[in-house]
A = this chain, B = another copy of it.
Amino acid sequence: MRVLVLGGDGFCGWPTALHLSQAGHDVTIADNLSRRFIDVELEVESLTPIRPVHERLAAWREHTGKEIRFVNLDLAREYDRVLGVLLESRPDAVVHFAEQRAAPYSMRSAKTKRYTVDNNVTGTHNLLAAIVETGLDIAVVHLGTMGVYGYGWSGSAPIPEGYLTVHVPTPEGQLEREILHPANPGSVYHMTKTLDQLLFAFYAKNDGVRVTDLHQGIVWGTQTPETAIDERLINRFDYDGDFGTVLNRFIMQAAIGHPLTVHGTGGQTRAFIHIRDTVRCIELALDDPPVRGEQVSVFNQVTETYQVRALAELVSRMTGVEIVYLPNPRKEAAENDLNVTRDRFLALGLNPTTLSEGLLEETREIGVKYASRADFSKIVAKTVWSAGMEVSPDLMR
């Protein structure tokens, strides 16, 4: 099928584009390179030496004979060009990764809060309005987040895949209703994904746009079979306090001998998925879109859940690096359980990469191999959720 990957130069987008191209799909990447600009702004680089997008694409062509087209496009700012790209490339599906995806970055300042809302919400709405304007039946697969649900809201009840069955008291007894799971976002970033959900629901209802929303856990790992073919194809690995995801940060900290930084008690339980499974899930979702007129199809894109503290202990045991407990810059419960339903992707045949399989390989092949590229001043998370909260000092220079 013809697939347009919005945000196809980013951490999830790039390996997805390669995976879909390898699987025989006709892939076009659209990206405004915003993630690379933010690296410049934050004065940090991917631990892995990612190459410019055209060099990446040339290396892919050289190894596979497959062509991936690239369009430099700002989804939120260039509506007319978005419309033009859709009309010209007539994709069967759009995979939408074109959002600012770091919770800490979204909380740095009024400027980054505003950028995150504007980029993510305007971008998603532009995509939907443009699809309707084209009159084409283009399916959308969007990367959401487990964070739309919040944590600890539903007690021992497992978090369902998007929709929650509730009973509403009425004068005569009670009604049973299936509702979009109540939103309880923990940052401006997560909030934008809760807004996206309402945009999708409206355009599915009013215009029959076919949307799949994937509520993904925290991604770890770096390489997929495709990005590992040539070093020029390598995926990005973020370790800094704003964009680094928790497990990758532990892996990199262990590799350079930096204490493993746990915020608060580490009692937060989170859901995880390896980047190799992310790309498979996207492909499975593309193969199984909703029917026109149906409600938005929601999958929980997670494979395992761990307490942050337990992850740190695992990495510490494996590597001998100590754990430090720092103040929590987020406003969240100190401890939470997490029980996530994840039946839909398993039913479609996903065979997950588990932490126990992938962790050592990741530490060796990424953390240790590229350790010399680390900037120690970027490791400790500095962004706090509101003014006056304690900021942790750097632990190593």
Contacts and interface: CB of A to CB of B under 8 A. Distances in A.
B170 A154 contact: yes
Contact of A156 (B79, B172, B199): B172
Interface in A159-174: 164-172, 174
A54 interface: no
Contacts of A22: none
A121 interface: yes
Contacts of A125: 113-114, 117
B202 A191 contact: yes
Contact of A114 (B79, B177, B185, B386): B79
A297 to B, nearest CB: 18
A323 to B, nearest CB: 28
A130 B117 CA distance: 14
Query: Which residue among A117, A165, A185, A387 has the maximum number of chain B CB atoms within 10 Å of its CB?
Result: A117
B168 A386 contact: no
A310 B172 CA distance: 27
A206 B164 contact: no
Interface string A226-263: 00000000000000000000000000000000000000
A32 B319 CA distance: 60
Nearest to A114: B129
13 contacts: A83-B110, A113-B125, A114-B122, A114-B129, A122-B122, A155-B170, A156-B171, A157-B171, A166-B167, A177-B182, A180-B183, A195-B195, A195-B198
A347 interface: no
